[in-house]
Structure 1
Amino acid sequence: MSSSRVSKTAYRPARLALAMACALPVTVLAQEATTTASTPATLDAVQVTAQRRVENIQDVPVSITTLDAETLGVLGSGGTDIRFLSGRVPSLNIESSYGRAFPRFYIRGLGNTDFDLNASQPVSLIYDDVVLENPLLKGFPVFDIAGVEVLRGPQGTLFGRNTPAGVVKFDSVRPSQDFEGYGKLAYGSDNMWNFEGAVGGALTERWSARVSALYQRRDDTVRNTLAGAPNDGFEGYDESAARVQFLYEGDGFEGLFNLHRRDLNGTARLFRANIVEPGSNRFRPGFDRETVSLDGVNFSDLETWGGSARLRWDFGRYSLYSITGYETLESLNRGDIDGGYGAVFLPDSGPGLIPFASESADGIPEHKQISQEVRLESNLDGPFDWQAGAFWFREDLTVDSFNYDSLSPGNPQTGHAVQEQRNTAWALFASGEYAATDKLKLRGGLRYTQDKKDFSASVLQAVPFGTPVGGPFFENTDVDDISWDASAVYEFNDDVNVYGRVAKGFRAPSIQGRLAFGGISVADSEEVISYEVGVKADLWDRRGRIGFNLFRYDVDGQQLIAVGGATNQAILLNADKSIGQGAELDLQAWLTDTLLVTWGTSYNDTEIDDPNLAVAICGGGCTITDPTTVINGQTFALVDGNSLPQAPKWIHNLTARWGVPVGDDAEFYVYTDWAYRGQVNFFLYESPEFRGRSTLEGGLRVGTNWNQGNYDLAVFGRNITDSTRIVGGIDFNNLTGFVNEPRTWGVEFTAKF
């Protein structure tokens, strides 16, 4: 694609699930409850660190949803990767064209559909206080996690990198002096095994440690029907991860040290040629999700490891923090991009029209990320408290891109391009909170950021009909920016807080070198101004809790990616402006002393506002509904007024947990969860074939626990209606798409000690 400037049929949703969704307008979170035989069930207070301090979620002037350890365990019970969080909180969408390796996050419609391994995202992922910048790092498995916080809207004052859309923050369970741990083992359909566990305790009076591990595997679920193909089956995986932590607790000093590693061996995203019915977004007749016919090689290998040191000195009225992080990775992901076999100019090809064969791989052979933050925080008795610090970031990476000939024996390599980038950034920041009255608190912050990228790209082996051997070609960017936020929280009464917030976010420029199919493209920095008002309240004597907000944001120079098209290019560009507005609702409630229900909903109305923005259209079979223009003999779509890609207007999620005592020390329970996501555009232009249908996926867990909850045995199902949807596409060759995860059933046993 280029860009330029110019003057099996899806299962219908269960009626019961829809009725519950309509009746209980909230968020996915099974809160721990305070209850005894003689007192009604109530919700515990939720503590968050959204402002880098421990606070009650009701007092924080930010739209936040939290997920606790129990909820995370239920949602991840089928062995799925981090994408299981998609749609499980308001305004959060996660998708991938790489499978388990490369999640792309979207909050309030702001994200990045770029598939390049050098892509930046406007949603920052913070894992144990360390920012994970490369998209391959962001897929680290979710295990032994104390909780997840999803912060919506710009968070550019207190968090380190590229947060104009928001932050997803993970906190691992910390070591302690108490000996404790757990083990969880699940077995399910398609020979799925899922194990995770942790053990920790005191080493000395000052030192403690915790070791956590995860192992997941599943057999191939899709059979390759092409005789003599390099792969017999697809969509199996074998993944392991581990984390070791050491905690030192001294007099006025604390040090928490972390080492972690991930290894993934599995299938790259499985592309399927011509699965879309022309003129619609439904499957072609005869579609079978369990079979494909591919002549390309398919695999996904990823290895990551890293470490961090989080230090805190307590000086009484002041605390000093140091956070040092190191991450590195190595990867190679190879797939059959045309989604079929052969080509139209050969005697045999298919399924459907295959204009030409395409098989490629992308990998990172060298990578390192180093980050350092120093922060001073006040602990004063007066009405004013503050924190200030400095942040430094450095990332060096090399990206290899390969092309192969699927039509020749052995699928030989036919092209090789390489990108190298060095990114250095530093920032100074300060934030303060002032209690103007007993009921009114004011907050504000500033952050100055300087960001520099040095980029080079070369073609080492020419692609047939593509770019010849050449290079290196150089690009660089060097920008600075000031982000800020200002907010107020007013305590209306003991149970109700209202707040308002305005914030400016910033994302540094991006560079991409798709030399095998074009050239280097650069997107300038983008800036976001966000406005938000909301209310947070405890209800019915703390039997319920609600959070509701309205928001609007304006993006100047939003970074977008025009991917695919007839020439299979990926071009970075900036839209003059993008606009988003909507509402978000979180609710948790004990409807009875044995039934806890949560509901989350979000409405996001996004729009590209740029009358002159034109992108090349698809290369095969789609129906363009945008106005078009011809530039140098090529047809372009004018995308002004379109919604942002992968930005659903509606997201709903529901959980319900019902439990009853059995005997003196046991419980029988039923837990169900449902997530709905509205329609989305896969690309910048609009086409019915590349507009994903709405999705509704549900989970069910039935089990019993005993010995004060230390033992649990349950059967579970994920995607229990076996809903099948096209969740992404490739538009340069034919009507190629990929689908969601299949239904999974299993049994799981957990023991805590």
Structure 2
Amino acid sequence: MSTRIIKRALLLGAAFSLATAAHAQTADQAPVETADSSALGDIVVTAERRSENLQRVPVSVAAVKGDDIRAFQAGGEDALALAGRVPGLYAETTTGRIFPRFYIRGLGNIDFYLGASQPVSIIQDDVVLEHVVLKSNPVFDVNQIEVLRGPQGSLFGRNTTAGIIKFDTIRPSMDFNGRASASYGSYNTATLDAGVGGPIVADKVAFRLSGLYQRRDDWVDNTFTGTGADGTRGGKDALGGFEEKDVRLQLLFTPTEALSINVSGHARDYDGTSTIFHRQAIKRGGNNVQSEPRDKIALDEGQGNPQAYTTYGGSVNAALELGGVTLTSITAYETTAGFSRGDTDGGAAANFPVNGLPNGFGQSQGNVRDLDQWTQELRLASNGDGPFKWQVGGFYFDSRDDTEFYQRAFFLTPPANNPNNFVRLHNVNTSWAAFAQGSYALTDALTLTVGGRITEDKKRTALVRSTRNAAGTVDLFPATAPRDVRLKATEPSFDVSALYTVNPDLNLYARVARGFRGPTIQGRSAVFNSPFTTADAETIVSYEAGFKSQPTSNLRFNATAFTWRVDDIQLNGNDADGNGVLFNADHANAYGIEAEAEWRPIRNISFSLGASALHTEIKDKRVFAQVCALNGRTTCTVLDPTIVRTIFGQPATLAQVDGNPLPNAPKWQLNAAVRYDIPLWNDGALFVSGDANVQGYTNFVLYRTREFYADGNLEAGLKVGYTTPDQKYEIAAFARNITGEKNLKGVIENYNAAVFNEPRIIGVSLSGRFD
């Protein structure tokens, strides 16, 4: 075991030592607390589309409170901050803040294509966000986040083979109230997350106005001293900043006791820097990136890696009580437009010569010219407390976008440029589904739940404009390749679960579920004058069993063991141009466990612990993935068996990936958090809180190497502050990534380029609420 991993283990252990020491000191000095004063209280979730106690839901669910995610985001982080805080959940990006990629129980998608599908669905206020840009919609004025692990195909549909992340914001109410959190820290990082609402017409109309402002200065120096082929120049504090502005208005109408209508609209304006790749930060034969400066890089192209998006959306969520049933209709619309540009080779080519010549250039830009997503759900559900609970419904999804991809020659200054070096694609995805679920209490102790869904999913990608020569006279896309590709899948999904109450403090459950991810088309390859690649639908069958326990009012402990198999699993590798290529492998297997505990021994001390262990394995001896290569040379140390094949007229090395783990599937994760409050004479309190998470071996690509993985990544945070006697206001000093860890989060293979985690941010925060 390396000293780095030992250091991380010791630091994580220190969090528990702090909790134990705090408990011992308080137990000696403080008066005896009553059981009620330290009770954890119930957690209510909507994992099964109705409000239920977390301990009574036969699904593996993790719930994150709004205040907890706001504490993580005080340092400028976005939804990726969830990674490492929820057992079994991992997240990363190689396309900046507008394209997060989530993984649950090892299942995800490393594809950076703007039309990529993911097996983790994002649901925000009951609206599915399917497109990768919509998945980056910021989280603000949020009430609770639920992470549902495992297939959720019955109630939430296709593309949930791994699970879903469900964001529920604070809704309008007839009581006037508000809250705000503000922070300021290193690199002029600032965040303001606020919401206010209350009645407009007593008992009839209420509102909630929420907003987010988040920014950071550019803090990464571009040390390039020349003028790039596209006019790029270096400079101090040239990259790394961003500005996020978001607003949401909700209006709640309750014209009668039986009818409620929530109308919501939101807008986003984002401008920032896309992901920065550090070329050759990963040296061949090793994995240590500590010598690479985080705040300096030489980029000769890309004009500072800019990205910008505007997003608008709205929904109408209406519920009508009809005696013993409730009819719910959710209508939603989302639209976005923007671009992201980057120097994808991650360094000035002049700094990496081959035979005295600059080695390797890479630059690209993806544009979403326009995207329109419409969704409609209609659901009829029982609302009584009887032994039989049920719901039936239908769902329709329609997403259409025009997306462009630009390559390097487009950006070069004349006469070297090619103004026709881009493609425009038109993408259409439509889907309909019908579903039903029933839950019946067979006895006072045993409840059986059965759900099913039938879904049709259609995809179409059409090449509207192909690449041409500089004069615009020659079409470079192969004449024999299809320019309009259509795929379709109709699949059933189901889940069957049983919940057995051993006693009021212990519930056992078991669940089997089937789900699927729709077929996928990879159209970006057209910018390299290569045919589209496709992948057929993948299907998953998952088995899990676990327990949910609360042996005392101040201790909650839940754990789950699971196994799954995905047939025709969709994978993504690279072709000779470094472009993503879709394909299906025969199947992949996995098994693992996840556990969470929360303990409040007395009112003034609380801590939590989460852990997961995972084994994933690709199973297909026929599947090979192209390995890291540049200028005909392999740039990394490949540990798998390899073969050489001719691709696009050039020899290429491919690795057999049978038996390898899935990319971005950590073998284990561990997270801990603690808070200790010290009562003061005025009934206010000083507090100290800390959190830490550490991640085991994680492979970043399909094949195994000595370079492209992470092991022992750790991040920790600390917060010290004061709360007022009424506990409504808090002022604090905080540090995110307090030890300044430089963790490897992703790679660009052919350039041995590294993607790093967020830098250390030290600052102050102020939060408050009123009602």
The match for 1:594 is 604
User: What amino acid sits opposite 1:301 in the alignment?
Assistant: A
- 1:710 to 1:618, Cα distance in 2 relative to 1, 3 A: same
Q: Distance in 1 between matches of 2:11 and 2:223?
A: 39
TM-score, normalization by structure 1: 0.93
User: What amino acid sits opposite 1:17 in the alignment?
Assistant: L
Aligned partners of 2:377 and 2:396 also within 8 Å = yes
Q: Distance in 1 between matches of 2:249 and 2:210?
A: 6
- 1:706 to 1:646, Cα distance in 2 relative to 1, 3 A: same
Q: Distance in 1 between matches of 2:403 and 2:97?
A: 19
Aligned partners of 2:477 and 2:526 also within 8 Å = no
- 1:576 to 1:470, Cα distance in 2 relative to 1, 3 A: closer
1:64-107 Cα distance to aligned partner (Å, 9 max, x none): 11001221121111111111111110000000001111000000
Q: Are residue 390 (structure 1) and residue 394 (structure 2) matched?
A: yes
The match for 1:32 is none
Aligned partners of 1:11 and 1:721 also within 8 Å = no
Q: Decide which of 535, 558, 563 is 2:547's aligned counterpart.
A: 535
Q: Secondary structure at the match of 1:100?
A: helix
- Aligned-residue offset at 1:121: 0.3
The match for 1:207 is 205
- 1:430 to 1:722, Cα distance in 2 relative to 1, 3 A: same
Q: Distance in 1 between matches of 2:438 and 2:354?
A: 71
- 1:16 to 1:361, Cα distance in 2 relative to 1, 3 A: closer
- 1:409 to 1:688, Cα distance in 2 relative to 1, 3 A: farther
Q: Decide which of 620, 641, 646 is 1:627's aligned counterpart.
A: 641
User: What amino acid sits opposite 1:522 in the alignment?
Assistant: T
- Aligned-residue offset at 1:463: 7.5
1:653-709 Cα distance to aligned partner (Å, 9 max, x none): 111011122123311111101111122111111112111233110011101011411
The match for 1:610 is 620
Q: Distance in 2 between matches of 1:744 and 1:259?
A: 32
Q: Decide which of 258, 261, 265 is 1:259's aligned counterpart.
A: 265
Q: Distance in 2 between matches of 1:124 and 1:62?
A: 16
- Aligned-residue offset at 1:185: 2.0
Moved more, 128-137 or 244-253: 244-253
Q: Secondary structure at the match of 2:224?
A: coil
Moved more, 380-389 or 582-591: 380-389
The match for 2:113 is 116
Aligned partners of 2:576 and 2:652 also within 8 Å = no
The match for 1:58 is 55
- Aligned-residue offset at 1:251: 2.1
Identity rate of aligned residues, in percent? 39
The match for 1:519 is 531
The match for 2:595 is 585
TM-score, normalization by structure 2: 0.91
The match for 2:655 is 637
The match for 1:735 is 752
* RMSD after superposition: 2.4
The match for 2:366 is 362
- Map 1:542-691; keep pairs closer than 5 Å: 542-563=553-574, 566-620=576-630, 621-632=635-646, 633-691=651-709
- 1:315 to 1:372, Cα distance in 2 relative to 1, 3 A: same
Q: Distance in 2 between matches of 1:509 and 1:746?
A: 46
Aligned partners of 1:716 and 1:745 also within 8 Å = yes
Moved more, 174-183 or 112-121: 174-183
- Aligned-residue offset at 1:383: 2.0
Aligned partners of 2:594 and 2:613 also within 8 Å = yes
- 1:347 to 1:615, Cα distance in 2 relative to 1, 3 A: closer
Moved more, 565-574 or 44-53: 565-574
The match for 1:18 is 13
- Aligned-residue offset at 1:461: 3.2
- 1:601 to 1:461, Cα distance in 2 relative to 1, 3 A: same
Moved more, 500-509 or 743-752: 743-752
- Which runs of no fewer than 5 residues in structure 1 stay unpaired? 1-8, 26-34
Q: Distance in 2 between matches of 1:647 and 1:261?
A: 34
Q: Secondary structure at the match of 2:8?
A: coil
Q: Secondary structure at the match of 2:80?
A: helix
Aligned partners of 2:498 and 2:511 also within 8 Å = yes
Q: Distance in 2 between matches of 1:688 and 1:21?
A: 33
- 1:309 to 1:354, Cα distance in 2 relative to 1, 3 A: farther
- Aligned-residue offset at 1:629: 1.6
User: What amino acid sits opposite 1:727 in the alignment?
Assistant: K
1:11-48 Cα distance to aligned partner (Å, 9 max, x none): 942724235569999xxxxxxxxx97785411101110
Count matched residues.
728
Q: Secondary structure at the match of 1:18?
A: helix
- Aligned-residue offset at 1:334: 0.3
- Aligned-residue offset at 1:118: 0.1
Q: Are residue 245 (structure 1) and residue 243 (structure 2) matched?
A: no
- 1:678 to 1:413, Cα distance in 2 relative to 1, 3 A: farther
Aligned partners of 2:624 and 2:654 also within 8 Å = yes
Q: Secondary structure at the match of 1:717?
A: strand
Aligned partners of 2:15 and 2:673 also within 8 Å = no
The match for 2:92 is 95
Aligned partners of 1:281 and 1:689 also within 8 Å = yes
Q: Secondary structure at the match of 1:611?
A: coil
Q: Decide which of 166, 173, 176 is 1:176's aligned counterpart.
A: 173
- Map 1:2-17; keep pairs closer than 5 Å: 12-13=7-8, 15-17=10-12
1:104-156 Cα distance to aligned partner (Å, 9 max, x none): 00000000000000000000110000000001111111211110000000000
User: What amino acid sits opposite 2:95 in the alignment?
Assistant: Y
Q: Are residue 158 (structure 1) and residue 155 (structure 2) matched?
A: yes
- 1:459 to 1:341, Cα distance in 2 relative to 1, 3 A: farther
- Aligned-residue offset at 1:271: 1.1
Q: Secondary structure at the match of 2:155?
A: coil
- Which structure is higher in helix share? 2
Q: Distance in 1 between matches of 2:371 and 2:416?
A: 28
- Aligned-residue offset at 1:411: 9.0
Q: Secondary structure at the match of 1:73?
A: helix
Q: Distance in 2 between matches of 1:23 and 1:454?
A: 56
Aligned partners of 2:685 and 2:725 also within 8 Å = no
- 1:16 to 1:473, Cα distance in 2 relative to 1, 3 A: closer
Q: Decide which of 392, 405, 420 is 1:401's aligned counterpart.
A: 405
Q: Secondary structure at the match of 1:138?
A: helix
Moved more, 399-408 or 431-440: 399-408
Q: Decide which of 121, 125, 138 is 2:122's aligned counterpart.
A: 125
1:177-229 Cα distance to aligned partner (Å, 9 max, x none): 11111222211111111112111110002000010001011111210111254
Q: Secondary structure at the match of 1:243?
A: strand
User: What amino acid sits opposite 1:41 in the alignment?
Assistant: S
Q: Distance in 2 between matches of 1:627 and 1:671?
A: 48
- Aligned-residue offset at 1:355: 2.4
